Amino acid sequence: MVKNRLVALILRILFCGLAISGLIFGANFGTPLGRWFFYTRQSNLLVAALFLYLSIRTAVAIKKSGKKGSSCFIPRLQMGITLMILFTLVIFWAVLAPFATKHGYDRLWTYGNLSTHFFTPIVAIVDYILFNEPGKLKKRDIGFAMLFPLASITTAFILGFSGFVFYIDDSGTNYNFPYFFMNYKIMGFLTIVIMLGLSAIYFTFALLVYRFDVRRARRLKAKL
């Protein structure tokens, strides 16, 4: 864990700027209101807010007690947000990118797309590893980490079945669900199977992050 607050502050300001630029130039797919219910945009927005908060807290800590010391302030919440953006990274490149490319999506390698689906997730993970103190997580945080994605999915389904339009394609067709694998009207029962599978994968990620934290804490304690 890095205990140089000046380094943490500089990186967090840069990371915050990167996340905000991603929200400006990328993740704009969908109707003006519908785009805010896409998981990608929600997770990127939370990362931008996280880095803004961490930048302020780090600056305050430097002013109060100097450049040397911990830059870990909200490790449990940061774990949850980092996990969300990690899932954005994995699902986009493993599932959505191949599907989009197959259907003629031509913005895969643009800055806007890369910032929201690659750069921002990577810097969120880097910050979590560099500046968070191991041993701060609780076992129940595995369950807490599931709350936001479940709330996001539930909201999307409620809106979708209510006739809300998330996006309109080039042919003028309205889509009532943000992602193709959530479109129950087309995929039927398979949608439920996919969502259960994604939930299981998310839970596994949360468990692995928790175990990673426990192992780091043990190694740190052994060195003392």
Return per-residue pLDDT of the chain as tens, 224 residues: 899 999 999 999 999 999 999 999 875 667 778 888 999 999 999 999 999 999 999 999 999 999 999 999 999 999 999 999 999 999 999 988 988 888 777 778 899 899 999 999 999 999 999 999 999 999 999 999 999 999 999 999 999 999 999 988 777 888 899 998 999 888 899 999 999 999 999 999 999 999 999 999 998 888 76
- Domain extent for 190: 5-223
pLDDT at site 108: 84
pTM over 0.85: yes
pLDDT at site 170: 75
Single-letter amino acid, residue 151: A
Backbone torsion region of residue 98, taken as left when φ is above 0, otherwise alpha when ψ lies between -120 and 50, otherwise beta: alpha
Task: Indicate if the alpha-carbon torsion angle 40, 42, 43, 48 is positive or negative.
Answer: positive
How far is CA 203 from its chain centroid? 14
CA pair distance 86, 21, nearest whole angstrom: 18
pLDDT at site 28: 66
Q: What letter does residue 168 receive in the DSSP assignment?
A: E
Contact 30, 38 (CB under 8 A): yes
Contact 92, 40 (CB under 8 A): yes
**66 is written with which tokens?**
């100097």
Helix (H) or strand (E) holding 146: none
Q: What letter does residue 36 receive in the DSSP assignment?
A: G
- Count of domains for the chain: 1
